[in-house]
Amino acid sequence: MIKLSSIITIVFITSFLILSCKNNSNTEEKMIDEKEFGKLNDGSVVTIYSLKNEKGATAKITNYGAIVVSLCVPDKNGKMEDVVFGFDSLEGYVNNKTFIGTIVGRYGNRIGKGKFKIDNEEYQVTVNDGNNHLHGGNVGFYKALWNSKAEMTADGPSVKLEYLSKDGEEGYPGNLKIQVVYTLTNNNELDIKYTATTDKPTIINPTQHSYFNISGNMEKTILDNELWIDADYYTPIDSESITTGKLDSVQNTPFDFRKPTKIGLRINDENEQLKNGQGYDHNWVINNADGTVKKVCTLYDAESGRLMEVLSDEPGIQFYSGNFIDGTFTGKNGIKYQHRTALCLENQHYPDSPNKENFPSVRLNPGETYSQHTIYRFLIK
């Protein structure tokens, strides 16, 4: 077995060279760069890909967990800064359980009691969040080593990742083959396309789980960011954060983001739903969702001038306001991540859909192809 201390030393040196938003002169000439990110305990080599577009924006993607390690985009003065949480080493991702930067699945978000039925047969998946199932279980997609390949496309540098989730993994039925393609477009977009197939009826609801702080200052809270969500309704939750099955109006509630609103304005209101989530940790029901890609959400940081647009073909989006970040773990550049210094905007089907007949279906059958398309677009306002 490889000694952990040796791995940390190697990875620290490698990470010091690759994780900065400032590239050396040789790397600047490359649109795609590929390096070893470290080794897992079984000796498997983990790769990290550095992508750079024509405008100088960069992204780092690793095939461990299909993780977005960094994403550097310009502010209003042209300064490139990293806008996502992450770690300086592979070990940070191996040891952390907060899904930072990963693709989660098979089922992103929660399944009540970890139970669901397909054709009257009940399945029990891993219970890893109190009494419930969260983000695919103890391993899921986010702790898997994906097959990967980088290539140039007409839109920009790209990384293709593929994973076979075997029948019975975390309790899910069917051998599921999933492909995720990240492209850093020349329009400063992180474009994410998913496809998947199965050999047995199963359920699927993957999502991208980056923690964003678009100010570029990971010690600053996200409470002054202005959020807009194209949703008249959201799905309320119970005390265990499981959806009740209802669609409630956002009108006259802290959940109304139909006009750009500072996140901190109502986050501490005396509201039962906010208490259940310990802040915002809810799914919004996208207006007029019809399976086509459209703008569903925007996030704006006035100080940096960065505007992030979220485009998706999914019927829901989970907004999580970093309620459980508590300074207990250290991220990139030695920063201890504090309460509400990042947020997640996860495009998805509704939580606990397999147990709610009125929610859009997440079933995938043999012969069908699952697809999803999400875009995080960065602009200056």
DSSP state string for 290-311: -SS-EEEEEEEETTTTEEEEEE
pLDDT in tens, 163-199: 999 999 999 999 999 999 999 999 999 999 999 999 9
Identify the pLDDT of residue 30. 84
Structural domains in the chain, sorted by start: 4-380 (2.70.98.10)
Average pLDDT of the segment spanning 314-328: 97
Specify which residues 301 forms β-bridges with. Answer: 306
Identify the pLDDT of residue 21. 79
Q: Is it the case that residue 132 has pLDDT exceeding 80?
A: yes
pLDDT in tens, 68-121: 999 999 999 999 999 999 999 999 999 998 999 999 999 999 999 999 999 999
Identify the pLDDT of residue 120. 95
17 or 38: which carries more pLDDT confidence?
38
Specify which residues 118 forms β-bridges with. Answer: 121
Long-range CB pairs of 359-365 (<8 Å, 24+ gap) are 359/235, 359/243, 359/245, 360/315, 362/107, 362/203, 362/204, 362/205, 363/118, 363/201, 363/202, 363/203, 364/174, 364/176, 364/196, 364/197, 364/198, 364/201, 364/202, 364/203, 364/204, 365/198, 365/201
Identify the pLDDT of residue 22. 65
pLDDT in tens, 278-306: 999 999 999 999 999 999 999 999 999 99
> Of the ranges 11-15, 206-210, 224-228, which one carries the lowest mean pLDDT score?
11-15
Note the Cα 157 to chain centre separation in Å. 20
Average pLDDT of the segment spanning 14-26: 49
Report whether 47 contacts 150 (CB < 8 A).
no
Q: Is it the case that residue 156 has pLDDT exceeding 60?
A: yes
Secondary structure (DSSP) of 259-286: S-EEGGGSTTSS-HHHHHHTS-EEEEEE
Q: In whole angstroms, what is the distance from residue 373 CA to residue 191 CA? A: 8
pLDDT in tens, 246-268: 999 999 999 999 999 999 999 99
**Predicted TM-score (pTM) of this structure:** 0.93
Place of tokens 């760069």: 33
Q: Average model confidence (pLDDT) for the chain?
A: 93
Active-site residue, selected from the candidate residues 81, 170, 226, 346: 346
Check if 346 is active-site. yes
Q: How confident is the model at residue 13 (pLDDT cuts 50, 70, 90)?
A: very low
Active-site residue, selected from the candidate residues 209, 282, 349, 373: 209
Q: Is it the case that residue 27 has pLDDT exceeding 80?
A: no
> Of the ranges 13-22, 23-32, 294-303, which one carries the lowest mean pLDDT score?
13-22
Instruction: Tell me the Cα Rg of the chain.
Output: 20
Structure tokens at 132: 């419930």
Q: Is it the case that residue 10 has pLDDT exceeding 60?
A: no
Q: Is it the case that residue 20 has pLDDT exceeding 80?
A: no
Q: What percent of the chain lies above the pLDDT cut of 70?
A: 93
Identify the pLDDT of residue 29. 53
Check if 209 is active-site. yes
Identify the pLDDT of residue 99. 96
Note the Cα 268 to chain centre separation in Å. 25
